[in-house]
Structure 1
Amino acid sequence: MTKLLHIDSSILGGNSVSRQLTAQIVASWRAGHPGTEVSYLDLAVDTPSHLSAESLGFRMPADAALSDAQKRENAVSEAFVTQFLAADVIVVGAPLYNFAIPSQLKAWIDRIAQVGRTFKYTDKGPVGLATGKTVIVASARGGVYSTSEAATAMEHQESYLKVVFGFFGITDVRFVRAEGLAMGEAAKAAALAAAQIEIVTHTQAPAANQEKAAIAA
């Protein structure tokens, strides 16, 4: 049975486009992959604290004495990394906040970036340990950052997520992008329409895609 982890990080609740897109991505994936088991994580509600001296405890040697605070923080980190490693597919809602991802999402990434769990260092450099997974990112942006070199240099959302998941050993990272959302109703409608096509492309099994293409033709 395929296990899918559905993650939202937007603080906008029902007004969030990234939440709308992740829900549609999960529904489309389940339609194309019956029997998928879904778990849900709302980082705007269950936000891990940012890294501190206490929450770095998981990086200490196994035989090191941990304080009570470190043990509590260890338990939080362990829960997040175990949930992540158990998933075959991870759907991530990632709005663009001030040219980067929400701090809530960054805090989660900091918890799962663990030596010996999601990556390791060797004499030839780092090696990702979370291989064989698919990540689908719902990318929501008020402006347009994909059509010029200058604009692309300003965004640290999609670029960062591709790098960090790649560092964990995940080579199958897909993006469902809706940008220009704050540039008028026509631009928003066009962005959402384009995102719907990407959702089908990135979630449906090949046979289902061929059938939809035949119907459209």
Structure 2
Amino acid sequence: MKSLLIIKSSVMAGQSKSGALADEYQRIWLENNPGGKVTQRDLAASPIAALDGHLAGAFFTPEDQRTAEQEALVAQSDALITELKAHNDIVITAPMYNFTFPVQLKNYFDSIARAGITFKYTDKGPVGLLTEKRALVIASRGGIYPEGADNQTPLLRQFLGFIGIQDVEFVYAEGLNLGEESANASMAQAKQALTELA
């Protein structure tokens, strides 16, 4: 059975443009995959713990030596990775905040990047373990950024590749703060791109 995981990172809740585009993609995806499974995770509504000394210490402590507190800290990461592994298609919303993506998404990435679980070190460098998955990044921006002039795209592509997800597509909704005409045109263009990808 085909499965879709949608990871939303906007703090704007019902006003989120990237979230609205993700919902539109879900609708089209379900039309094309009747009976498919969809899971949505809202990182703003249900925040992931930030990486700190306690969490890092828990990650690096062997499983059979962890304290009860450390086990509880690792449990959320384990659940997120299990969820990610269970889905074929991944959608990530990445609104641009101060030239990068939200801290909520960074916390999620920090929680799922686990040596020996989602990637491994080899004598030829790190190798991602989450292969045979497809990712779609929906990036919304207030301004307009020429190809190669933003920080989001290369960082997101690098991280996803690091954990083994090489098949990555990007859909952009730009100029959303440049007036109603610009926003409407960009949203329509993004929806068309999502329809084609779904």
Corresponding residue of 1:62: 63
Corresponding residue of 2:126: 126
TM-score by length of 1: 0.87
TM-score by length of 2: 0.95
CA contact (8 A) 1:94 1:140 kept: yes
CA contact (8 A) 1:59 1:114 kept: no
Aligned equivalents of 1:200, 1:146: Cα separation in 2:
23
Corresponding residue of 2:163: 168
Displacement of 1:19 in angstroms is 0.6
Displacement of 1:32 in angstroms is 1.4
Corresponding residue of 1:43: 43
CA contact (8 A) 1:26 1:91 kept: no
Where do 1:132-151 residues align within 5 Å? 132-147=132-147
Corresponding residue of 1:212: none
CA contact (8 A) 1:58 1:77 kept: no
Corresponding residue of 2:176: 181
Quote the sequence identity (%).
41
Aligned equivalents of 1:158, 1:190: Cα separation in 2:
22
Between the two proteins, the alignment pairs up a number of residues equal to 197
Of the structure 1 ranges 67-76 and 105-114, higher mean CA displacement relative to structure 2 is found in: 67-76
Structure having the higher Rg: 1
For residue 128 of structure 1, what is the amino acid of its counterpart? G
Q: After TM superposition, which residue ranges in structure 1, 4 or more long, deviate above 6 angstroms?
A: none
Question: Please, which runs of 5 or more residues in structure 2 have no aligned partner?
Answer: none
SS at match of 1:38: strand
Aligned equivalents of 1:120, 1:139: Cα separation in 2:
29
For residue 58 of structure 1, what is the amino acid of its counterpart? F
Which string of whole-angstrom CA distances, capped at 9 and with x for unpartnered residues, describes residues 142-201 of structure 1?
011125x6xx1xx22222111100111111111121001001111111111110111012
Which string of whole-angstrom CA distances, capped at 9 and with x for unpartnered residues, describes residues 90-115 of structure 1?
11111000011100011011111111
Question: Please, which runs of 5 or more residues in structure 1 have no aligned partner?
Answer: 204-217
Corresponding residue of 2:189: 194
SS at match of 2:110: helix
